[in-house]
Amino acid sequence: MLRVGLTGGIGAGKGEVARRLAAHGALVIDADEVAREVVAPGTPGLAEVVAAFGAGVLLPDGSLNRQLLGDLVFSDAALRGKLNAIVHPRVGERMQEMEQAAGQTDVVVHEIPLLAENGLADAFDAVVVVDAPPGVQVERLVSTRGMTRSHALARMSAQATREERLAIATFVVDNSGSLEDLDGRVAALWAELARRAEGAG
């Protein structure tokens, strides 16, 4: 089995790369999706978040108001640490469980937005960094996610720098061009990952 960490700055397009790797046959485990799962209504994770942050972080239907909680912890490192202490261990455990479904020669891709920030590079056999120039990231966040330019820049500056991400990369996927360009780049990456997985298996 080849364990691959996939990361990239907000708006760089790691989701596009993850979808293409999944289509090639990778088992993709999305940390964001798992993070939502571990604080779904009725979970011990959600109960702990409410105990720590109060019932004000819930929506009327009893689910977590992720936007509100995100805004709350975004500008406060202590609160962010408190939230991470609840969520991260549960996410790690669940991702390990999901990984156990993989076969010996499978490529398992862990899609982790904050891989560089959390110092997780050494936990993987290879790290794939999806890269795009900051100007392209801002453009995408404004046009596809409806963010203001200043909000986009604030979100980017709260993450690792482009240089910090590139420093941990085994492979860099340039996603500054078209989706057709990306198809070719991911196909080449997949060929190399599959070759390594075969060797590992």
Among the listed residues 1, 3, 11, the one whose alpha carbon sits nearest the alpha carbon of residue 144: 11
Please report which helix (H) or strand (E) contains residue 8, including its range.
Answer: strand 2-8
Say which range, 34-48, 66-80, 154-168, has the weakest mean pLDDT: 66-80
Question: Encoding tokens for residue 51?
Answer: 């105990």
What is the SS3 string spanning 49-71? Answer: HHHHHCHHHECCCCCECHHHHHH
> What pLDDT score does 72 carry?
87
Architecture of domain 1-26+106-201: 3-Layer(aba) Sandwich (3.40)
Q: Where do the H-state alpha helices sit in the chain?
A: 14-24, 31-37, 44-53, 66-74, 77-99, 134-145, 149-157, 162-167, 179-200
The pLDDT tens digits for 113-160 are 989 998 999 999 999 999 999 999 999 999 999 999 998 998 898 899
- 74 band by pLDDT with thresholds 50, 70 and 90: confident
Instruction: Indicate yes or no: pTM above 0.75.
Output: yes
Segments making up each domain of the chain, as ranges: 1-26+106-201, 40-103
